[in-house]
């Protein structure tokens, strides 16, 4: 797809949203690399430089972050810039989250504790091999399988950042620092403008935001603004992830 076409399309979408003319500089990416990323399921977008406040500022931002997000910043559980967009081109996996098609099993559930104590079964190892919770034609599948996973679910925040991210960076020929999970405010902004369907499935996904005490934000279950948080070693059959690439 032509880069100039994508830029004009992005300018129009952002101008309609922000209510002002937008002129974007070209992202620093070659046509060959862009085509590669597009073929792997990533979409090109620009995150404008804005700070999101507690009061709704944009008429087209329909599913705005709820007060609890801003309260977390006010209470200094999240960093002061957690509600800021920084004016940058990014690539993001734009696909709809897979639907909930397996029982809810999580790290701290009774069934998990029971199976570990009495049945001597490692339920996480079992759940991470469930292959039907998966995108179709996912480039990530071979990387996941090489590391003992069979879908994007039942993976902890730590495993994503320490195991999956470096492998994906190597596969995509990227610096490891250029690829990460989306921050909640980025995810919510993009979802409202381009991906309303992200909030139409009951599964959850990890965000990059992390509390001062270590817990990490999650969200996206049947809503674009609902938030949860879990320890970085938490896992669930209904909690997955997507990657964002900084350009």
In a domain, 149, yes or no: no
Average pLDDT over residues 22-51: 95
pLDDT at 133 over 70: no
Beta carbons within 8 Å of 156's beta carbon, 6+ residues apart: 232, 233, 234, 235
pLDDT at 216 over 90: yes
pLDDT at 29 over 80: yes
When pLDDT is cut at 50, 70 and 90, the band that residue 119 belongs to is: low
Average pLDDT over residues 53-79: 89
Backbone angles phi, psi at 15, to 5 degrees: -65, -40
In a domain, 166, yes or no: no
> Domain tally for the chain?
1
CB burial readout 73-102, b (16+ within 10 A) else e = beeebbeeebbbbeeebbbbbbbebbebeb
Phi-psi map region of 87: left, alpha, beta (phi>0 left; psi -120 to 50 alpha): left
In a domain, 114, yes or no: no
In a domain, 3, yes or no: yes
pLDDT tens for residues 188-213?
999 999 999 999 989 999 999 999 88
What was the pLDDT predicted at 137? 80
Look-up: residue for tokens 């997000």? 69
In a domain, 37, yes or no: yes
In a domain, 141, yes or no: no
Q: State the pairing for strand pair 239-240/204-210.
A: parallel
What was the pLDDT predicted at 97? 83
In a domain, 131, yes or no: no
d(CA 54, CA 66): 8
d(CA 163, CA 145): 12
- The reported pTM is 0.92
Record the tokens describing residue 23, joined without a space: 């002129």
Query: Which range marks the domain in which residue 82 is found?
Result: 1-99+173-247
pLDDT tens for residues 141-151?
999 999 999 88
In a domain, 150, yes or no: no
Average pLDDT over residues 74-93: 96
């Amino acid at each position: 797809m032509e880069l100039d076409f994508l830029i004009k399309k992005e300018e129009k979408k952002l101008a309609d949203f922000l209510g002002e003319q937008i002129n974007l500089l070209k992202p620093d990416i070659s046509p060959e690399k862009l085509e590669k990323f597009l073929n792997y399921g990533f979409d090109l977008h620009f995150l404008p430089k804005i700070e999101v406040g507690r009061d709704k500022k944009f008429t087209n931002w329909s599913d705005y972050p709820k007060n609890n997000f801003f309260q977390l910043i006010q209470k200094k559980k999240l960093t002061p810039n957690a509600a800021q967009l920084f004016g940058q081109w990014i690539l993001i996996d734009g696909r709809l989250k897979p639907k909930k098609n397996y029982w809810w099993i999580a790290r701290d559930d009774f069934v998990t504790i029971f199976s570990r104590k009495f049945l001597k079964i490692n339920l996480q190892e079992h759940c991470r091999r469930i292959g039907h919770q998966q995108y179709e034609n996912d480039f990530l599948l071979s990387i996941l399988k090489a590391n003992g996973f069979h879908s994007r679910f039942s993976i902890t925040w730590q495993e994503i950042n320490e195991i999956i991210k470096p492998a994906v960076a190597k596969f995509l020929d990227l610096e490891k620092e250029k690829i990460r999970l989306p921050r909640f405010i980025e995810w919510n902004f993009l979802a409202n403008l381009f991906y309303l369907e992200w909030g139409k499935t009951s599964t959850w996904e990890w965000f990059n935001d992390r509390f001062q005490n270590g817990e990490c934000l999650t969200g996206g279950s049947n809503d674009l603004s609902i938030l949860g948080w879990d320890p970085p070693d938490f896992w669930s059959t209904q909690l997955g992830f997507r990657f964002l690439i900084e350009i």
